[in-house]
Chains A and B, each alone.
Chain A
Amino acid sequence: MNMTAIVEEQTVSNWQRFRQSHFWHSFCIDKVAQISFLVFVAYVIAALLAPLMAPFDPYDPGSIDIMNSELPPSWQEEGDATFWLGTDAQGRDLWSTILYGTRVSLMIGICAVMLQAFLGICIGLVAGYVGGKVDSLLMRLADVQLSFSTMMVAIIVLAVFQATFGTQLYQELAMVMLILVIGIAEWPQYARTVRASVLAEKEKEYVDAARVMGLRAPRIMFRHILPNTLSPILVISTVQVANAIISEAALSFLGLGMPVSQPSLGSLISSGFEYIFSGSWWITVIPGLVLIVLVLVMNLLGDWLRDVLNPKLYKG
């Protein structure tokens, strides 16, 4: 048998294996999961293709006309057909701004969770595998971190940063800062989950077999134990992305998030809030709905994943 034949057999059987799996089957019978997944994919596509889909560039001050400010959505009497969802207080097309804002929100959410996952997985693996004093130290650190609420840490760090280095620099680095703050504040969630799984996995004999083979601890941790702890990591990742997006929105709403010139969904909601009582409800409500639907589908997907991957509900 030559190599290509083996590879081909492998890929075909992988696809077939996926088609026959419990995972795929439960996806096929679960309408909520399908709809959530479709909506989520639509969000991702919209975020990725924002520059192509958006009729205006909200980051380009040249394309904004202050005379167009606070126009209602086009289906209302005073609406303008060029601005489908109306405009915000600065005259930006709301549809374009929402597309770009979704991009920013998803970007922050996913990057922050990647940072959380990286820190949490490394720390959790080491704590669980090495055990003893290292484990105690790392888990007490996690407890300390958890005893501060994420929002409090984020508000203090961002406010101090803003006060120390000025608003100008802050606005340039806002996205990086948000990713760092949300990422670092939430790593214990991952670390605890990973540690718990590692403690269960490292007692199994395949880990002993790898040790008898003479493999180094990092290789055993990442190549043997980590793949077997992926299910809980996957589940908390979906929920954590939703949480990170909410945290970012909340911080932006408090004025500590993305600047008005590069709005995320949260800062868009915040910027419209001043006009809501003068009748311009759409600037706040429409991005708010977009945010709610995004977080809702992610949580629904997370719930579904947890049900599918939970060995207590299904023994595979």
Chain B
Amino acid sequence: MIVQLNESLLQIRDLYKRFSISGDFLDQLRFEGGKIKRHQEHVHAINGVNLDILKGEALCVVGESGCGKSTVARTVMGLLNPSSGSISYEGQRIDNMSGKALMPYRKKMQMIFQNPYASLNPRMTVSETLAEPVQFHNPKWSGAEVRDKVHEVMFSVGVDPSWGVRFPHEFSGGQRQRISIARALAVDPEFIVADEPISALDVSIQAQVLNLMMDAQEQRDLTYMFITHDLSVVEHFGTRVAVMYLGTLCELGTSEQLFDSPRHPYTQALMSAIPKLADDRPNHIKLQGEVPTPVNLPSGCVFHGRCPYADDRCKQEIPQLIVTDSGTQVACHAVEEGRI
């Protein structure tokens, strides 16, 4: 691997995740040609993702809807079990750990969710919501210590500690999202997975929440895995960017490299779609066709059906991530062969 392992906090290796869509056993039976056959269909949400998250970085994962970026996040957090592959945290494999063994990692890894209206329990006050993880992970703390910690995190996200007696429905979307950030920070994590944390917020609030997350990163020495589809956020927030398409990783590089000189044809099309003020005649790369269904994956490179540079090799062989001369990692035969 290209990335020095001693730096990386989290390693994702050959991760696959399939979801069955053919129902239970009886639904899978079909009568074909005089025989009863078992017929199973799967959605291939993640197809062989390799990714390293380095200590202290903000890795942004971008891609269009349904490309599996949220599934990666949920698998990393243990909300989903990978179909195959492994996830390691500080060299320790965590994807097959029991609930008890995982407990120290639960404290180190936290998650911020997309929808601030659903991510707070409507029947618990803000203090209860924030005190629960603190108490759970520090069972020996006294009530006063827990309360101090809750006040500290509320203060750090700009929520007045005296509002703790209120319920989530009494807050606005931005305030709620700050409260869920506070909940993630309450156990002093090292690593936070943020699954589109600002996409449900007003544009005016988005910057506020982003800045809050960046401040928290600076003060608490956090590592982020930031799932988003908003490229302007990536430019502002991310140190490195991973571009995903149909459950595979296309390109991985620092945000400057990726925005200045995208290599993968999909990334090039994606970057060309960013509206710019200077554009008189925008030079969008228009991709042909639609994203193929993840139920029946295309053979070879998943992008070959829409790629202007695709040849026979692309249709047969799945491209692996290679390091280019600029230091980014690209999974593309055309780049490897120097055709682009």
- For A9, the chain B residues whose CB sits under 8 A away are 165
* Given A6-B165, A204-B118, A206-B118: A213 and B106 interface contact (C-beta under 8 Å): yes
Nearest 7 pairs between A and B by C-beta? A214-B106, A205-B119, A227-B123, A205-B113, A206-B121, A204-B118, A205-B118
Contact A212 B136, beta carbon cutoff 8 Å? no
Among B114, B121, B136, max chain A CB count under 10 A is at B121
Could you tell me the distance between the alpha carbons of A124 and B115 in the complex, rounded to whole angstroms? Answer: 27
> CB within 8 Å of A: which of B119-145?
119-124, 132-133, 136-137
Residue of A nearest to B112 (CB): A209
Q: What 14 additional pairs, Cβ within 8 angstroms, besides A211-B79, A212-B79, A212-B111?
A: A204-B118, A205-B118, A206-B119, A206-B122, A209-B113, A210-B121, A211-B78, A213-B136, A214-B102, A224-B121, A224-B124, A227-B121, A227-B124, A228-B121
- For B86, the chain A residues whose CB sits under 8 A away are none
Contact B106 A205, beta carbon cutoff 8 Å? no
- For B136, the chain A residues whose CB sits under 8 A away are 213-215
- For A206, the chain B residues whose CB sits under 8 A away are 118-122
> CB within 8 Å of B: which of A117-172?
136
A307 within 8 A of B: no
A208 within 8 A of B: yes
- For A76, the chain B residues whose CB sits under 8 A away are none
A1 within 8 A of B: yes
A31 within 8 A of B: no
A-B pairs under 8 A by CB, number: 63
Contact B121 A10, beta carbon cutoff 8 Å? no
Main secondary structure of the interface of A (DSSP, over half): helix
A34 within 8 A of B: no
Among A13, A210, A214, A228, point to the contact of B103 (Cβ < 8 A). Answer: A214
- Nearest CB of chain B from residue A12's CB, rounded to whole Å: 10
B69 within 8 A of A: no
* Given A13-B165, A224-B121, A228-B121: A212 and B132 interface contact (C-beta under 8 Å): no
A312 within 8 A of B: no
- 5 example contacts (A-B, Cβ-Cβ < 8 A) are as follows A206-B118, A208-B119, A209-B183, A212-B78, A212-B109
Number of A positions contacting B (CB below 8 A): 21
Contact A208 B106, beta carbon cutoff 8 Å? no
> CB within 8 Å of A: which of B248-279?
none
B328 within 8 A of A: no
- Nearest CB of chain B from residue A207's CB, rounded to whole Å: 9
Could you tell me the distance between the alpha carbons of A210 and B130 in the complex, rounded to whole angstroms? Answer: 11
Give A224-241 as 1s and 0s: 1 = Cβ < 8 Å from B's Cβ atoms: 100110000000000000
B228 within 8 A of A: no
Contact A205 B114, beta carbon cutoff 8 Å? yes
> CB within 8 Å of A: which of B163-193?
165, 180, 183, 187
Among B99, B110, B114, B118, point to the contact of A212 (Cβ < 8 A). Answer: B110
Contact B99 A209, beta carbon cutoff 8 Å? no
- For B102, the chain A residues whose CB sits under 8 A away are 214
Could you tell me the distance between the alpha carbons of A136 and B27 in the complex, rounded to whole angstroms? Answer: 14
Contact B99 A208, beta carbon cutoff 8 Å? no
Could you tell me the distance between the alpha carbons of A33 and B122 in the complex, rounded to whole angstroms? Answer: 27
Could you tell me the distance between the alpha carbons of A10 and B118 in the complex, rounded to whole angstroms? Answer: 24
- For A215, the chain B residues whose CB sits under 8 A away are 132, 136
Could you tell me the distance between the alpha carbons of A308 and B105 in the complex, rounded to whole angstroms? Answer: 44
Residue of A nearest to B123 (CB): A227
B219 within 8 A of A: no
Could you tell me the distance between the alpha carbons of A155 and B109 in the complex, rounded to whole angstroms? Answer: 57
Could you tell me the distance between the alpha carbons of A250 and B79 in the complex, rounded to whole angstroms? Answer: 50
Could you tell me the distance between the alpha carbons of A13 and B121 in the complex, rounded to whole angstroms? Answer: 19
- Nearest CB of chain B from residue A9's CB, rounded to whole Å: 6
Could you tell me the distance between the alpha carbons of A205 and B197 in the complex, rounded to whole angstroms? Answer: 12
Contact A1 B162, beta carbon cutoff 8 Å? yes
Contact B106 A209, beta carbon cutoff 8 Å? no
Residue of A nearest to B165 (CB): A10
